[in-house]
């Protein structure tokens, strides 16, 4: 699954597969915390670990108390520090990882971790979707790319002039779309010179991002050397 396919599944207008989900109780969380704190070695393994499956394989005796599914949810629940009621804890945990790296750009944050939650992209748990969880993680109702809109606003400019996140489809050596996607950060004053249709046609080349024959890195707003063609922001 590529990022564009992932986005189609998480968008609000797509049909969802309803999945029943029972979050752990506070008693179960406290018992799991006691279990991982019983020895310094287990506690250290939990604190250093990032993947529930690896932790469970290392400590299979835990499955005498909880089944594998419940153990995984408890692992990420304790990692999160709270119970994500009605939603798998790992969805929140993984999206939170993306937010830590990209706190102001939700689409870039999702792009960085989407492969870890792609199997759940089309799911709905107790009325909540992946996009709903992402909005909760980021603390805002976030805008997603759509079939007709390939640039969306960010949450904060953080020292830069206004800019958008832009979905860019990569190309192969024959300059044909290859099904892979990246997210670019582009100054709004550059984007404002083009239509939505033109923005949707942005593509990468060896020289940088282009719209038709226009090379975006040559825009007058960008002064000095462009080190990253997917980061065409302008500092305040």
- Judge if 204 and 225 occupy the same domain: yes
pLDDT at position 177 over 90:
no
The verdict on 36 and 127 lying in the same domain is no
H/E element holding 151?
A: strand 151-153
pLDDT at position 176, please? 86
* 175 lies in the same domain as 191: yes
80, 99, 120 - which closes a domain: 80
171 versus 187: the higher-pLDDT residue is: 187
Give the per-residue pLDDT at 225.
Answer: 75
Answer yes or no: do 14 and 91 share one domain: yes
Question: Tell me, what DSSP letter sits at residue 160?
Answer: B
67 and 49 in a common domain: yes
Same domain, 178 and 218: yes
70 found inside a domain: yes
Q: What is the pLDDT of residue 22?
A: 95
Residue 145 lies in a domain: no
| pLDDT (tens digit per residue) in 47-101 | 999 999 999 999 999 999 999 999 999 999 999 999 999 999 999 999 999 999 9
Residue 144 lies in a domain: no
Distance CA 125, CA 87 (A): 6
**Do 185 and 97 share a structural domain?**
no
> pLDDT at position 190, please?
96
Domain assignment of residue 143, yes or no: no
pLDDT band at 147 (very low <50, low <70, confident <90, very high): confident
Give pLDDT, residue 162: 97
Domain-ending residue, one of 107, 138, 169? 138
Residues 197 and 213 occupy one common structural domain: yes
Residue where one domain finishes, among candidates 36, 56, 80: 80
Whether 186 shows a pLDDT value over 80: the answer reads yes
**CB contact at 8 A, 154 and 163:** yes
List the domain range (segments joined by +) for residue 76: 26-80
Number of domains in the chain: 3
Give yes or no: residues 97 and 73 share one domain: no
191-232 residue pLDDT tens: 999 999 999 999 999 999 999 999 999 999 997 778 899 999
Q: Does residue 222 share a domain with residue 111?
A: no
The two counts, helices (H) then strands (E), for the chain are 10, 10
Q: Are 174 and 189 part of one and the same domain?
A: yes
Mean predicted lDDT score pLDDT of the chain: 95
- CB-CB contact of 215 with 208 (8 Å): yes
> For residue 226, what pLDDT is reported?
83
Assigned domain for 146 exists: no
Residues 130 and 67 in one domain: no
| Residue 72, pLDDT score | 98
Whether residue 226 is contained in a domain is answered as yes
The phi-psi region of residue 126 (left if phi > 0; otherwise alpha if psi is between -120 and 50; otherwise beta) is left
Q: Are 204 and 26 in contact (CB under 8 A)?
A: no
pLDDT the model gives residue 2: 96
- Report if residue 165 sits inside a domain: yes
């Amino acid at each position: 699954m590529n990022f564009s396919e992932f986005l189609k599944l998480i968008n609000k207008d797509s049909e969802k597969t309803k999945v029943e989900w029972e979050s752990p109780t506070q008693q179960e969380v406290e018992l799991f915390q006691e279990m991982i704190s019983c020895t310094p070695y287990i506690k250290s393994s939990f604190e250093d670990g990032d993947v529930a499956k690896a932790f469970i394989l290392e400590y299979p005796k835990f499955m005498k108390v909880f089944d594998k599914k419940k153990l995984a949810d408890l692992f990420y629940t304790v990692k999160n520090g709270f119970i994500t009621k009605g939603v798998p804890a790992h969805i929140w945990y993984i999206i939170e990882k993306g937010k830590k790296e990209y706190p102001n750009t939700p689409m870039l944050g999702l792009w960085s971790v989407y492969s870890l939650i792609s199997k759940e992209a089309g799911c709905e748990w107790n009325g909540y979707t992946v996009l709903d969880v992402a909005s909760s993680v980021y603390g805002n109702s976030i805008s997603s790319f759509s079939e007709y809109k390939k640039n969306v606003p960010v949450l904060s400019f953080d020292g830069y002039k206004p800019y958008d996140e832009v979905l860019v489809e990569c190309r192969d050596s024959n300059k044909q779309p290859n099904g892979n996607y990246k997210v670019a950060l582009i100054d709004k004053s550059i984007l404002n010179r083009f239509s939505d249709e033109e923005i949707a046609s942005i593509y990468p080349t060896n020289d940088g991002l282009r719209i038709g024959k226009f090379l975006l890195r040559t825009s007058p707003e960008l002064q000095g050397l462009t080190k990253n063609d997917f980061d065409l922001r302008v500092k305040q």
